[in-house]
Each structure stands twice: as structure tokens, then as C-alpha cells.
Amino acid sequence: MDKLETMKAFLAVVEEGSFAKAAKKLNVSPQLVSKYISALEDKLHSRLLQRTTRKVSLTEAGTKYFLRCQQVILDIDEMEGELANLHQHVSGTLTISAPASFGVKHLPKLLVDFQKAFPDVKINLKLTDVKIDLVEEGIDIALRAGKLKSSSLIAKKIAPIKMVIFASPEYLEINGTPKTPQELHDHTYLSYSYSAESMLFSQFGEGVKELKLNEKLTVNNGDALVNAAIHGGGIAIQPIFIAGEALANGQLLPILQGFEPEPLGLYLVYANRQFLPRKVRVFIDFSSDYYGDTPYWDASYQ
């Protein structure tokens, strides 16, 4: 049985939510889709899907396989797309959504360089930290930072995102420097609206996981948190791509080094792989290796 066809059938079942809808999408019979999935589970010796009369859901093994399958199929499509689009003209308006801080600090150069390579592509950039519905908002492609949950969206990681914990020299002089995450409960914490910071330390044991933080300021933008920390407002956790400049010039000092959350990822996210417009395909290809395994913002901080 063809491995790629089996993987595509599995992806279709997950993305469509049922065997019947997956069969319709692939233009095959539901019986064939069921045969593909059964053969795949037998080969892997793992149950990938939980089946009920009302819905299909992923098991833990299925979630891991789904994410890897997405990347494999995406890489194959990209390779074919690069060859197919090598000499084709690219034009139109590309609508992109990106996190506000990253969009201001690090995205403009990529967009300018992209338009130098593809001058007939117009770009409509929308900056927001809210994870909006791409189809409903008419977004061709979004940049998202974090740990992505499995979904019908296609995601490609283009850069790692390292986190750093910091405060201003003045704040630390007055309030002392915490040596362990548990000591944060004695400090003022600057909180980012779209994350549960207390959970960022969960890898260091249950005592830390249940940490109660003194959150006196909550903001939905990373730059605002960094500026509040510079002015002595408290302790915060943010990506190096936001806080790196202030750390480099001494306005902020890193603390709790060795207790930083695990690195996140910067992803390109889009709604559908099938019949992907050339303007989206070439942007994915152009952006994939733009920042590299060690982005310049991390290299300059180190």
C-alpha cells in the first residue's frame, strides 16, 4: 500500500473530522479510507484514532503522527512547488497576519526582500497578537509564535524562539534577585495576556507548577511589558526577539538563568494545502530559511 497515499488519507480524516468527508475530499470510497487507516495503525502498532458513531478524534500517538505527517507532506509539496513555480510569474495581493512586536521589529526586512524578488506581489500586513480565524478574516498566511496545537491548519516552523526572564537593575537592587522560580511569589510580576506564565515553569516540578504570581500588570503586547520592566515595574518573561536590545544595553538584566521556559517556535500557518496560490507558495519557500536555525536576534544576544 502506497505510504504517501496512506498518510494523505490519515491527514484528510483528521482535517475533515470523519471518514466520509475525507473520502469525498480524496474522491475515493469511505471503505478505502478505512482500509488505509487500519493498515497504517497495524504497521505502526499504535491506535491513531478514536472512533465513535459521532466523531473521530486523535489519540496521543495519533497527535504526534499527525504533526509529523503534516511536515512530511508539506516538505514534498514545497519541493514540487519550487520546481513548478521556478519560471512562473507571481503577482497579486498577499494578506499576512503577524504578532505585533515581531511584525514591527523583525518582519519588515523579510517583506522588503521578498518584494525585491517578487515585485508584482503586493502585501497587506495585519498585526495582532490575537489568533484570528484565517478563512473568516481573509488571511492568506499567518506568522504565529508559541507551541501550536494540532488542527486543520498547516504549519511550518521557520525559526526557534528562545525565552528570557528579566528585570531592570533598579528593580533588582530594591527588591533583590530571585534565585529560584519559587521566590517569584515575593516579587511583582508583569504578565502577558495570551499566556499562563505560571505554567511556563511546570517542567521544574509540582511545587513550581502551582506557583502563585503577584500579577499587578497584565498587557497584551510584549513591547509594553518590556518597557514596563525597564521602568522598574517588575519581572517578566518575553522572547529574546522582543527583549534582546534592552538586555544588550543593560536596561534589563537576565535572571533565573537555567529556569527559562523551553524554546517556542515561529511558524508559518495557512488554511489549506490544496491548490495553494503561487503567491502563498513562493512566500513560504522564501521565508522557510530566512532566519535560520540561530536567528540574528538570538546570535546578537549570545
pLDDT, one tens digit per residue, over 256-265 is 998 888 888 9
**CA–CA dist 20, 115 (Å, integer):** 42
pLDDT of residue 189: 92
Task: For residue 168, name the pLDDT band (cuts at 50, 70, 90).
Answer: very high
* pLDDT > 90: percent of the chain: 40
Give the pLDDT of residue 99.
93
Three cell numbers written together for 232: 522598574
Residue-level pLDDT at 198: 46
Mean pLDDT of 70-98: 76
In total, the chain counts a number of residues equal to: 302
Q: What is the CATH number of domain 89-157+264-301?
A: 3.40.190.10
With cut-offs at 50, 70 and 90, classify the pLDDT of residue 17.
confident
The fold adopted by the segment(s) 3-82 is Arc Repressor Mutant, subunit A (1.10.10)
CA distance 109 to 247: 22
**Where does the chain show beta strands of DSSP type E?**
49-51, 56-58, 92-98, 121-127, 141-146, 154-161, 163-167, 188-192, 214-219, 236-239, 253-254, 264-270
pLDDT at position 207 is 45
Angstrom distances, CA of residue 135 to CA of 141, 153, 188, 270, 271: 10, 10, 40, 9, 7
Helix axis angle, 240-248 to 222-230, nearest 10°: 20
Residues of the chain with CATH 1.10.10.10: 3-82
Q: Domain 163-254, CATH 3.40.190.10 — does that match?
A: yes
| Average pLDDT for the chain | 85
Q: Where in the chain is the domain with CATH 3.40.190.10?
A: 89-157+264-301, 163-254
Top pLDDT among 256 and 2 is at 256
Encode pLDDT of 18-48 as tens digits. 888 888 888 889 889 889 889 888 888 889 9
C-beta neighbour count of 45 within 10 angstroms:
7
pLDDT score at 211: 65
| Least confident among 15-24, 86-95, 144-153, 200-209 | 200-209
- What does the pLDDT look like over 121-152, one tens digit per residue? 999 999 998 888 888 888 999 999 887 665 66
Which grid cell sits at 256?
Answer: 533565573
Q: Report the pLDDT value the prediction gives residue 210, as an integer from 0 to 100.
A: 57
Mean pLDDT across the stretch 222-242?
95
From residue 180, how far is each of 173, 186, 240, 257 by CA, in Å?
Answer: 17, 11, 20, 9
Per-residue confidence (pLDDT) for residue 57, from 0 to 100: 86
- Indicate whether 54 pLDDT > 90: no
